[in-house]
Structure 1
């Protein structure tokens, strides 16, 4: 498949033009004109690039690419080594940040809900269908401790749980994969029982306890690896290409 055709199909699937982002979405570093094998992953690290080289891949598709807002324009050091490796090996780099968070089927939020058994009921930001935070509910109410263990088991990573003083049972849940801890107050104001994300900030503990909401931080990487995996599965099922998800372990 030609690189331009591959990008068109990804753009039609993920619709990056619908949402304002902090980085360019789509083809970030151009490589070979024809693509036969694709590697997907969470972040375009040197380790993932080296794996792609080993696999003789023609393209990498990630959630976290390069050229972020307020990032230095200078290509040196770590950035130079990464980009040089891509160019030297003719590997195309595609990145989709928020578009991969919000896709209703393949997105990080949707995939996390599927993994944890949460039924999606709508956006957290009411009236915004492109909200990067989602609301849902459990089929059966759960205690905070049991739900924390469920998240830990499903994501294979120890989950941080901050319980409110009431330690109320959990039926309604809001979540935003990655670094979405800032949405906890909005979730609490709506009376939602629990909020899940990847990271925690110092103030998150106080918000959870003072606004009576369970908080779960399950890892930025751990909560966002399932979108990239879903993209690999989609490519294998819908395009004349070979795709493989590679998980570069990250404890954060």
Structure 2
């Protein structure tokens, strides 16, 4: 049970949502965006997060779009991980989503929530970083389409009152040969020791990881050259955690990179 009262709003368009949030903020209501609510509800129940109003984005069509159009795959930020995985439109993102939390929670966690949440892993960002994604950001001037790498660097960077309505990726990029691997400390369902996503585009491979450092990051091209040897620059990103030491993560990542290259047919 959430131990405080708050107002609930369910806008029907991106513009209505933006204006609703702005008015509530101006009135001192401390509004929050809401979609799946898994993290927000948990934090509110234990008193680590309070707010005076909730703006629910699930009823905004732009936030629940799931389509292939004009050569791009469009994914609304309020889509659940289950919906994305079952759609089959972006296989690498689907594989990644299917290993975040368990099947029950995947039906509640949204793409936007995973990207914007406080839990550092944000694994759904990896395929987006690798495949030339664009972020559809609702601003005072309307929806702006920005390179995903401009709005996401370890976490989502948006101005107060802005929100992520959707992302899109080129169909060509979404269809590239790819691989996904996740290593956990013990159980299959757990936070990652290291999660790796990779795509092969012709003779080159792009790779991104989560769990290895304090935030998702791209593996430098030089770390992939010559097989599984991870360059010193990336090795310095390895962070000790409850899942494993930095040294152990380096060992795990080197093996994961080698296996990914083999799976993608790169010698």
Question: Scaled by the length of structure 2, what TM-score is found?
Answer: 0.28
Question: Which structure ranks higher in relative contact order (CA pairs < 8 Å, sequence separation ≥ 6)?
Answer: 1
Question: Scaled by the length of structure 1, what TM-score is found?
Answer: 0.29
Q: Which has the higher helix share?
A: 1
